[in-house]
Amino acid sequence: MGAIAGIMEAQYDTLREHGHSPSEAFNETVEEFTESLIKLVAENGMDWMYANCSATAQRGALDWKPKFKEATMPVFKELYHRVASGAETKRVIEVCGRPDYREILGKELAVIHDSEMWRAGQATRDLRPHEEAKSGAGEAKGTGGRQSN
């Protein structure tokens, strides 16, 4: 979860630094991932995603995947080592065992909740339709995914 959140924040911050609005940066970062990409990967696999996306997305994914892997590999190796050695478990027990842990945790979670990125996310979620699809919507062109088009 930390890896995903960190990558989302890095992309969001980069888009904001280059003039994108909070809602646009959130949509390009979190919404695209959670409402589209990850669902398609879960249903069809990553190999299918590579084969069925736009040429721009395909080329970008193929060209940049090695750079993302190289950038994150040291972090995952460090995390694996800390878990395997027991150091991560020891740290978690120490931190969670503090008498003021709930207060500290509340402050840490508030930083996330109150961040611009997740306030934009709440506004985006508030705009989502909350009603069931209309009858007959399943037969409409374009609602059955790529295979039906």
Interval 27-61: pLDDT, tens: 999 999 998 899 999 999 999 999 999 999 999 99
Alpha helices in 1-147 (DSSP H): 2-17, 22-26, 32, 38-44, 46-51, 55-85, 87-96, 101-113, 116-127
**Spatial separation of the C-alpha atoms in residues 124 and 118, rounded to whole Å:** 9
Q: Tokens 């961040």 map to which residue?
A: 115
Helix (H) or strand (E) holding 30: none
Residue 141: DSSP 8-state: T
Q: Is the pLDDT of residue 149 over 60?
A: no
Q: How far is CA 43 from CA 40, 46, 63, 103, in A?
A: 5, 9, 24, 40
Interval 98-134: pLDDT, tens: 999 999 999 999 999 999 999 999 998 888 787 665 6
Percent with pLDDT over 90 in the chain: 81
Q: Indicate the SS3 state at residue 1.
A: coil
How confident is the prediction for the chain on average, in pLDDT? 90
Residues 6+ apart with CB under 8 A from 31: 124
Q: Check residue 57 and give its pLDDT.
A: 92
Q: Tokens 């979190």 map to which residue?
A: 30
With beta carbons less than 8 A apart as the criterion, state whether 50 and 58 touch: yes
Q: Check residue 72 and give its pLDDT.
A: 96
Q: Check residue 133 and give its pLDDT.
A: 58
Q: Is the pLDDT of residue 138 over 90?
A: no
Task: Please state the length of the chain.
Answer: 149
Domain ranges in the chain? 2-124
